[in-house]
Amino acid sequence: METYDVCCPICGAKNHDLYLEETDGWMECDHCHQVVQILAHANMQSISVYTCRELAESLAQTAK
């Protein structure tokens, strides 16, 4: 699988060897630790992407 070097859109730090195809363009910046999506590598199909925390919150709401 191909890896990519991209600059973080938040802080501008360069992140190396990212598997953007596997993550649908998402990456966590090594420098500022923000999770961002690199739109050039995003899949055009509409899919739901959850962080672990969002998933837990949504499961907690359905349980009520």
Q: Which residues bind Zn ion (CB under 5 A)?
A: 8, 10-11, 13, 29, 31-32
Q: Smaller CB distance to Zn ion: residue 11 or 59?
A: 11
Given a contact cutoff of 8 angstroms between Cβ atoms, the answer to whether 5 and 18 are in contact is: yes
Given a contact cutoff of 8 angstroms between Cβ atoms, the answer to whether 17 and 3 are in contact is: yes
Q: Smaller CB distance to Zn ion: residue 7 or 59?
A: 7
Q: What minimum distance in Å lies between the beta carbon of 31 and Zn ion?
A: 4
- Give the number of C-alpha atoms closer than 13 A to the C-alpha of residue 41, restricted to the C-beta side: 19
Q: What minimum distance in Å lies between the beta carbon of 60 and Zn ion?
A: 30
